[in-house]
A = this chain, B = another copy of it.
Amino acid sequence: MRVGVLTGGGDCPGLNAVIRAVTKSLIHHGQCEVLGIADGFEGLMGQQPRVQALDWEAVSGILHIGGTILGTSNTANPLKDAATLAQVQANVQALGLDVVVAIGGDGTMSLAHGVAQATGMQCIGVPKTIDNDIAYCERSFGFDTAVATATDALRRIESTANSHHRVMIVETMGRHAGWLALEAGLAGAADIILLPELDYDLQAIAQVCQAREQRQRYTIICMGEGAKQSGASQTVQARVETSPDPVRLGGVGHVLRQQLQPLINSEVRTTVLGHIQRGGDPTPYDRVLASRYGHKAAQLVLAGQFGQMVTLQNGQIGSVPIASVANTQRTVPLGHELLVMAQDIGISLGRSRSKQ
């Protein structure tokens, strides 16, 4: 069997571990040949497909390395027009690919499914999201690393907050789902955690800061980039996203700083973590987890279970039809154990008590 492997969408720690596990599993089985496709679907969209043979040596020594050795693309769209789609189909046939393992997020899963529907290409999906928000994946690889990076940043910033008696806002990734801000906030001992799922009440935040000014004299706020103020927030958020200023404003962390500073005495500062959250070597946890995702993908290939996406539910690796994940998103549900715990140990979620 000849198997293509590609990585699409934003990079994520653990991609190489997936590539390694799927490749080694297929080669070890003895009947497979593996081709790495460059830069996601882009590698299949040109007149010359861009691929490299993946043998044992090519995937040795990459387990612990961040990024993806195959390259990736955020923008390549094999479905953009009929000509492109035809080219992809022709390339898949020319390369003799029996199946393509597509490692990527929501977008990549949709594209893979779309191409499969339109061209008959067989595919298997491996879900990837730094935000931990894909359905059927209770823990996505790369997430543990992102939590560790953000937690480390929170710890560093606590030194300064404490020494200077400041309110420090740390903005993490997480446009729609607050998992990263929540777990990093818990692990990094944030005093206030703000999530996209729970619109915040500015007064409630100010009260926490004021109360802490008396004793601890500093406050750490960990907020996901999708967090917004209750009520007025739509406008503010819109302003951030559509800002014409070519120098990017920096996001909700700066918005909150502007809102909060007039209400409290301590100086307020914001740090936007940005790209460092996506990069870096995967944690040991993520190396094992990503290997499991990759190994399962190989098992699906060998079993001929095409059209499936690898999943993790109740600690068990499994699979569902790729189509099932379209338009689903795993956000933090109200009443989730971690939210209850956060409040029980005295962390504010930026809401007045009656509303929590």
Whether A187 and B344, one on each chain, are in contact in the complex, defined by CB atoms closer than 8 angstroms, is no
Whether B13 lies near A155 (C-beta < 8 A) is: no
Contact of A284 among B148, B217, B250, B338 (CB under 8 A): B148
Most buried by B among A254, A280, A344: A344
Given contacts A28-B345, A187-B284, A344-B24, contact A164 B74 (CB under 8 A): yes
Give CA–CA (A39, B156) in the complex, Å. Answer: 19
Contact status of A276 and B345, CB under 8 A, knowing A72-B163, A183-B284, A254-B248: no
Interface contact A271-B275, CB-CB below 8 Å = yes
**Given A271-B274, A280-B156, A11:B71 Cβ within 8 A:** no
Q: Confirm or deny: A258 has a beta carbon within 8 angstroms of a beta carbon on chain B.
A: yes
Tell which of B11, B63, B156, B284 touches A66, judged by Cβ atoms closer than 8 Å.
B156
User: In the bound complex, do residue B247 and residue A258 qualify as a contact, i.e. CB atoms below 8 Å apart?
Assistant: yes
Q: Does the CB pair A276–B157 fall under 8 Å?
A: yes
Contacts of A147 in B (CB 8 A): 284-285
Contacting A138 at CB < 8 Å: which of B66, B74, B168, B315?
A: B315
Check B287 against A187 for contact (C-beta < 8 Å). yes
**Docked-complex contact A275 and B341, CB < 8 angstroms:** no
How many copies make up the complex? 4
- Closest CB in chain B relative to A181 CB, distance in Å: 13
Q: Which of A38-90 contact B (CB under 8 A)?
A: 39, 56, 60-61, 63-68, 71-74
Which of A92-100, A107-115, A291-299, A326-334 sits within the interface?
A291-299
Please report A residues at the B interface, Cβ cutoff 8 Å. Answer: 7, 10-11, 13, 15, 20-21, 24-25, 28-29, 39, 56, 60-61, 63-68, 71-74, 138, 144, 147-149, 151-153, 155-160, 162-165, 168, 183-184, 186-189, 216-217, 245-250, 254-255, 257-258, 269-272, 274-276, 278-280, 283-285, 287-288, 291-292, 295, 298, 314-315, 317, 337-338, 340-341, 344-346
